[in-house]
Amino acid sequence: MPAESQTPTDPSTATPTTATPAGARRVAYVVKVYPRFSETFVVTEILAREAAGEDLAVYALRPTTDARFHPQLAQVRAPVTHLPRHHRLTTEWELFARAERELPGFGARLGALMPVLARLDPGDVAQAVDLALRLRRDGITHVHVHFANLAARCAAVASALTGIPYTVTTHAKDLFHEDVDPVLLREVLGRAQHVVAISDFNRRFLLSEVDPGLGGSVRLVRNGLELDRFPYRAPAAPRTPLRVLAVGRLVEKKGFAHLVRAAGLLHEQGMALHARIVGDGDLADPLAEQVSRLGLSGQVELLGPRSQAELVEELAWADVLVAPCVVGADGNADGLPTVLLEAMASGVPCVATDVTGIPEAVHPGTGILLSQDPTDLAERLADALREVADPAWPRVEVARAARAAVERDFDAAVQSRRLAELEGAPVVDRSRELEAVR
C-alpha cells in the first residue's frame, strides 16, 4: 500500500496528497449507472479520451437494469468499479472509521460538509465516503461526472474529503426536472472546478436561472459523435410510402404521441407513410393503443430498443428522422438527442422542435425546425413530412449542410480534447496506435 502523506497542521483546509507520481494523471468517470443503454454519449466520450492516450477509470454507484448493451462497451479499456450501497449502520460506521485512518483531516472536512450532507440520504453519504477512499487509493487526480445528480453529489463530497478536483457535465433532467433540489444543485456546481454545458442554451440557463455566481466556471463542451461510425450517404429521392424514423425512450418529453397523431392525419389525407419508432419506456402501451385506435397498425411500428449497429441500419432505411420533443408536465426536457446528430451525420434529413439545445444543431439550412408548442404540433409535423416528401425539397443540400455542421461542432475527438484541456490534461493522440491494437 502506498505511503500516506503526513497529516497537515490544519486538516480542515489543507489538501491531502495521493500516491500518484508527480505529473501523472488519472481521470475517474463517476456515473450513477454503468453501463446504461440510453447514454451512448458517455461511452463515446470515454473511447475518444482513451484514443487520445488518457488513463481513465469508471466508478458506478448503482447496478444497471438494462437488458441490452452496445458493442462499443467492449472497446472501453478503463477498469469499472461498482460501489456497494451500504444499508446498515454498523457497516457505514466501519467505513467512516477506515476513512478516519486513511484520509487526512477526515473528521474536520466531514463536519464542514454538514449543510450539504443533511440534504442527502445517509446511504449516499456513506457511498461518497467509500468513493473518496477508492479515488485516493487508485491514484485518481481528477474526477469527471455526467449529470448533476447523485453521481455529482457523491463526487462533490469525495472531492471535499480528498482535495481531488471534479468537473460536471450538465444535461437536461438534472437541470429542468421539477424534482431538482436547487440548493443542492448550486452547492454541487459551485464546488466544481468547471461546469460543462452541452449547449449554449444550457450555458445561459446555468448563469441566469441556476446561479449567476458560477460565472467563469461554466464552459461549453458539446456531446460528440464518433463520426467514422456514421458515414455520410447522400439522401435518395423520397420513397413511397415515405419512410419516417423516430428514436428515443418512450416518455412524454420525446413527443412521440404527436408523431403518431401526425401519421393519422396524413393517413386520413391519403398520403402513404411508414413510420418506425425505436425505443422502450413507460409509454409503450399507451402508444400502442394510440396506434391501434387510429387504425395505423400497418403504418406505424413500435420496434422496441435497438443497438447502435442496428440503429445505423434503421438510418439507412429512413427518408427522414423526426424528433418531436416537448417539455414534459414535470418540467423535464431533452438537451440535444444524440440520434439527431447521428442522422445528420449519416445524411438523413431531420425534422425537430426547438427544445433547449436542439436549434443549435437543427435549423433552417440543416433541417426543418418547428415550434415545441404542443397545441398543434401534430398538424405542423404532418405539414413538415409533406414538405420532405416533395421531390422539389432540397434534401441533398440540407443533408450536406447538416453533415458539415456535425463535423464542425460535434466531433467526439475534438470535444473530448476540449474537455481534457479544461481539466488541464496534456493529451497525446494515440488513435492510430489503439486502432492497430483493436
Q: Where is pLDDT greater, at 209 or 433?
A: 209
Query: Which of 28-42, 246-260, 331-345 is predicted with the least confidence, judged by mean pLDDT?
Result: 28-42
| pTM value > 0.75 | yes
Q: What is the pLDDT of residue 71?
A: 72
In the chain, % of residues over pLDDT 90: 80
Count CB atoms within 10 A of the CB of residue 280: 20
Mean pLDDT of 331-353: 96
Q: How confident is the model at residue 74 (pLDDT cuts 50, 70, 90)?
A: confident
> In the chain, what is the straight-line distance between the N-terminal and C-terminal CA atoms, in Å?
33
**Residue 73 — pLDDT band, cuts 50, 70, 90?**
confident
Give yes or no for residue 119 having a pLDDT over 50: yes
Contacts of 411 (CB under 8 A, 6+ apart): 224, 225, 227
Per-residue confidence band for 34, with pLDDT thresholds at 50, 70 and 90? confident
**Which amino acid, 392?**
A
Q: What is the pLDDT of residue 225?
A: 93
Beta-bridge partners for 28: 57, 143
Helix, strand, or coil (residue 215): helix
Please state, in angstroms and rounded to a whole number, the distance separating the CA atoms of residues 167 and 48.
18
DSSP 23: T
Of 278, 290, 284, whose CA–CA distance to 248 is shortest? 278
Q: Provide the grid cell at 411.
A: 466531433
| pLDDT above 70 coverage of the chain, percent | 90
What value does the mean pLDDT take over residues 157-174? Answer: 96
Contact by Cβ (8 Å): 300, 277:
yes
Mean pLDDT of the chain, nearest integer: 89
Arithmetic mean of pLDDT, 75-104: 89
Q: Tell whether the model's pLDDT for residue 20 goes beyond 50.
A: no
* Structural domains in the chain plus CATH codes: 27-224+412-437 (3.40.50.2000), 228-409 (3.40.50.2000)
How far is it, in rounded angstroms, from Cα 132 to Cα 59?
A: 11
3-class DSSP assignment, residue 172: coil
Quote the CA–CA distance of 69 and 166 in Å, as a whole number: 28
Per-residue pLDDT, 38: 67
